Amino acid sequence: MAGKVVLITGAASGLGEKLAYEYARQGARLSLVDINKENLVAVADMARSLGSPHVIIIGADVSKVQDSKQFVDETVNNFGQLDHLVNNAGVGGDPTLIEDSLDVTKYTSIIASLRIIPMGSTFECAKEIVRGACRGDMYVTNPSWVKVIFPFKVLYPELVDWIQQHAFGLFPKSSSKKENLHILKNNQVLKEE
């Protein structure tokens, strides 16, 4: 991971923060994105102390497509490339289990935002990762909350199909270099051998 550029959304706390530290320990260069930019300062400082050679912070709302384009552009302008995406940001709702409540209206706003949040940032990042396809392997990580939000599980297969058709269908047809796409699920942390 040393020297790779990793963009992490939802990096100001929780799983996004922990993943930032793990990538920092492995020497990755980090672009940390969160709607709460103030909390990113402490995360960036800790990431630097853990070994990340270069960390930038970007305040952005991933539910806004224009913000997604802006943080991807800012990352690429800063580092000249984008190698990995950890699309961790999202919205939550009432933490009660779905079995405890059959009132689907509780999940309406979550379902609506889930159609936008992963698509905007994932598509913008995927375009940059695809542009760098000739550099070698590429990685896109699925959001952590895919596993725990039932309504999104219903929508998830469509999203994966859409991303693969519209983003990853852009791979160069031939190249002398090895090109592999790794879609990491359930927040696997990649460790290079």
- pLDDT, tens only, 16-51: 899 999 999 999 999 999 999 999 999 999 999 999
pLDDT (0 to 100) of residue 192: 44
Q: Give the range among 6-15, 41-50, 102-111 with minimum mean pLDDT.
A: 102-111
Pick from 7-21, 47-61, 152-166 the range whose average pLDDT is largest: 47-61
Residue 90 confidence (pLDDT) above 60: yes
Please state the domain extents for the chain: 5-92+101-184
Q: Is 41 left (phi over 0), alpha (psi -120 to 50) or beta?
A: alpha
What CATH code is assigned to 5-92+101-184?
Answer: 3.40.50.720
Confidence label for 93 from pLDDT (cuts 50, 70 and 90): low
Q: Sign of dihedral through CA atoms 50, 54, 60, 63? A: negative
